[in-house]
Amino acid sequence: MADAEPLRSRSQRAHSGWALTRALVHQYQWFHVTTGLIGNTTFVIGSVFFLWKSWMLPGTWLFIIGSLGMLIGSLGNAIVTYERAKGRVPGDVQEHPEP
């Protein structure tokens, strides 16, 4: 029974850390929009570089980096949309797990 208490406190700390992360992702949604815009711009520039054979290698890297930026921006926006659908507001930190 003595071992159950440290396990509970670790579980609560882990959940509290996740709740704080969710709140930060939700609160700073401008970061996701900016990351997506930079990713889109880099993706387009990389795509244009494919038109010239000598620019194909830098175009490939810009294409990959832009795709990653678009993915990160989309994942962040998905989390924000999910949090809003749950009725949470930016900065809302829930300390106890949902049933």
Q: What is the pLDDT of residue 49?
A: 94
Q: Using one digit for the tens of pLDDT, what is the confidence trace for 6-55?
A: 544 544 454 566 666 666 666 777 888 888 899 999 999 999 999 999 99
Quote the pLDDT of residue 15.
53
* Spatial separation of the C-alpha atoms in residues 76 and 85, rounded to whole Å: 14
* CA nearest to 66, candidates 48, 42, 34: 42
Query: How far are the Cα atoms of 40, 52, 62, 81, 84 from residue 96, in angstroms, in the given order?
Result: 38, 56, 42, 21, 18
Burial-class residue 33 by CB neighbours within 10 Å (0-12, 13-18, 19+): middle
Task: Note the pLDDT tens digit of each residue in 89-99.
Answer: 665 555 555 55
In one-letter notation, the amino acid at residue 4 is A
Tokens read off for 28: 């700073």
